[in-house]
Amino acid sequence: MHNLSGYAGTIGLPSVSSVRPVHTAIIKQCPQFSCSLTSRAQLIHEFRGKKKNIALLPPLEYARSSSEVKIIPGVGISSRTSANSVRLYFNKGLHHIETVAVNPAFSSEIVLAHILLNECYQTTPKIVPMEGGIERLLSNANACLIVEDSEFLLADSDESIDLIDLWIDYIGLPYVHDILVCNEQTLLPNDLAGFLDIGNIAQQLIEQEVNEVGEEEITNESTALGGKRESLGGSFYYRLGEDEIESIKEFFRLAYYYRILHDIPDLRFHTIESTKVIPN
């Protein structure tokens, strides 16, 4: 275990099942940091308000403040195969999607849907901000977007599209759900050491569980994550490698093309040696 020069800070993680291996790895590697779990919307609010020094956030949130934050390398949450974590449901018999109901808190997933519906189906449906279950959402729109955070995510159906699977097939790269970011002056180079193995440790934890129980459901006993039974094995990947970085850059490029981002941000990585910039 690394000693991070006695620095103590705050880390925020979204309270979703896929984050469990990262949470465990951070507690093991960086015990002097206060690490808490909260809703994604609250986490974004706290990080923007600098109440959290470090946070696991969608790449879109990094893009919106890239001049003030850096990416901690080597760790993220991505999907290389279908994870059933972002799914678009639509009314039976629908031939053209004109409206999509979605919780406005899921801004990154809304952008993903906007990109893929334009790229793959040449349609730009109107977004209807709304909370609730699938039945309520579909009674107010042609389709609805349901995300892993929600208790309403269902299994595959004929009246649905797995957007993560669609991204992987269309772009040819994994989809990156979250990356670990820190405010500009949060970490000194020596403070970073304990974070560099988090992705590897998280990946090893989930691979160990898969080896122990095969592809069966893994029981999540953490009350902080809701105490649900979750199927994580094989669905999520926790190392931030070259393919994941290329995927983030492609997401930014498409978001810029569709005028969601005002520019394409560079990826600025916090490293022990120096700040590393990967041009867009």
**b/e sequence 15-53, b meaning 16+ C-beta within 10 Å:** bbbbbbbbbbbbeebbeebebebbebeebbebbbeeebb
Closest CA to 143 of 82, 207, 91: 91
pLDDT above 60 (res 225): no
Average the pLDDT over 28-36 and give the result: 88
pLDDT above 70 (res 183): yes
Phi and psi angles of residue 231, each rounded to the nearest 5 degrees, phi first: -100, 95
Predicted local confidence at residue 234, as pLDDT: 63
Instruction: Quickly state the pLDDT bin for 232 (edges 50, 70, 90).
Output: low
Closest CA to 231 of 220, 240, 243: 220
Average the pLDDT over 71-99 and give the result: 90
Note whether 117 and 125 are within 8 A (CB). Answer: yes
pTM, 2 dp: 0.85
Q: What is the pLDDT of residues 194-205, one digit of tens each?
A: 888 999 999 999
Percent of the chain with pLDDT over 90: 59
User: What is the DSSP track for 198-241?
Assistant: HHHHHHHHHHHHHHHHTTSPEE---GGGTS-EE--TTT-EEE--
pLDDT above 70 (res 3): no
d(CA 7, CA 249): 32
Phi-psi region of 128 (alpha: psi -120 to 50; beta: other; left: phi over 0): beta
Predicted local confidence at residue 7, as pLDDT: 46
d(CA 25, CA 30): 8
Mean pLDDT score of the chain: 84
pLDDT above 70 (res 108): yes
Instruction: Quickly state the pLDDT bin for 17 (edges 50, 70, 90).
Output: confident
Instruction: Quickly state the pLDDT bin for 78 (edges 50, 70, 90).
Output: very high
Residues contacting residue 242 through CB under 8 Å, at least 6 positions apart: none
Average the pLDDT over 139-161 and give the result: 76
Phi and psi angles of residue 134, each rounded to the nearest 5 degrees, phi first: -60, -45
Residues contacting residue 172 through CB under 8 Å, at least 6 positions apart: none
d(CA 41, CA 37): 12
